């Protein structure tokens, strides 16, 4: 993995000033940053280069890596194996999620970001196994000291936007230490939008820490000509109401991708 990071130092960097895209954020009353990697031209594009290096909880974006770990460790036979819902109401930070209240398989749990499915799966994997895997692929700070099973939403595990993209590049190139069949399955369940011109593979995430809402959208856009990796992270005070916070993760990212003529 050290070789991977040495290579990174030779990639070109474009620092796009925050003001260049500030109108997009301002129109929705949002604060945060978007980091993009132009794969064909090996070029980083930042709306806020310093923020791209700051690590926070990954929230449900961790489900990309967690799905690989779950499949690799045979917690489920495949993406279609069902986990039974326990019949109890399901919520996240006080918000009810009726869509979680049903028997669920991995591909559906990924799409609906079903916390209980991934928590139940995580209980079947030793924390040492997680730590070894995260260290091997250089994902985040590898701090899994959180005693609860939902360590990607609570605790001290932290990953930066740039590191999210570095992980996604390894996934795209199939260079992660997982069986190719499992990599292919995860790449498939990641697809959220596909046309004859482009495909989005991605994951959103939302958690709260230190009085802040943290909202993510990470993934990559493939076109006939190129691949664009992206990581957008928004933050706001928990007490601050903003109806555009959830949808804004995708809105600002797509507008920036269109501005740079990615698709």
Residue 192 known to be catalytic: no
| Rounded alpha-carbon distances, angstroms, from residue 63 to 84, 125, 189, 259 | 19, 14, 11, 29
Burial annotation 191-230 (CB, 10 A radius, 16+ → b, else e): eeeeeeebbbbbbbbbbbbeeebbbbbbbbbbeeeebbbb
Query: Which residue among the candidates 12, 20, 23, 60 is catalytic per the annotation?
Result: 60
Please list the alpha-helical segments (H only) found in the chain: 2-8, 18-27, 63-72, 106-112, 115-122, 127-137, 161-172, 180-189, 245-259
Tokens of 196: 């004859």
Tokens of 130: 């997680």
155 neighbors 165 (Cβ within 8 angstroms): no
Residues tagged active-site:
60
């Amino acid at each position: 993995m050290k070789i991977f990071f040495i290579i990174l130092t030779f990639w070109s960097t474009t620092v796009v000033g925050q003001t260049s895209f500030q109108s997009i954020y301002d129109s929705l009353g949002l604060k945060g940053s978007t980091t993009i990697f132009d794969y064909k031209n090996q070029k980083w594009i930042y709306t806020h280069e310093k923020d791209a290096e700051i690590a926070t909880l990954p929230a449900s974006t961790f489900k990309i890596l967690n799905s690989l770990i779950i499949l690799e460790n045979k917690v489920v036979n495949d993406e279609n194996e069902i986990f039974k819902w326990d019949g109890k109401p399901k919520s996240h930070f006080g918000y009810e999620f009726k869509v979680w209240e049903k028997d669920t398989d991995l591909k559906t749990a990924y799409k609906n970001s079903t916390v209980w499915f991934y928590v139940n799966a995580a209980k079947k994997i030793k924390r040492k196994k997680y730590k070894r895997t995260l260290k091997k692929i250089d994902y985040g700070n590898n701090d899994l000291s959180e005693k609860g099973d939902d360590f990607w939403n609570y605790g001290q595990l932290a990953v930066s936007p740039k590191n999210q993209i570095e992980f996604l590049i390894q996934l795209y190139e199939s260079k992660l230490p997982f069986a190719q069949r499992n990599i292919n399955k995860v790449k498939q369940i990641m697809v959220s939008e596909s046309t004859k011109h482009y495909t989005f593979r991605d994951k959103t995430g939302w958690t709260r820490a230190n009085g802040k809402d943290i909202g993510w959208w990470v993934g990559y856009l493939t076109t006939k000509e190129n691949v664009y990796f992206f990581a957008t992270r928004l933050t706001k005070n928990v007490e601050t109401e903003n109806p555009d916070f959830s949808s804004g993760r995708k809105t600002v990212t797509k507008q920036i991708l269109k501005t740079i003529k990615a698709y």
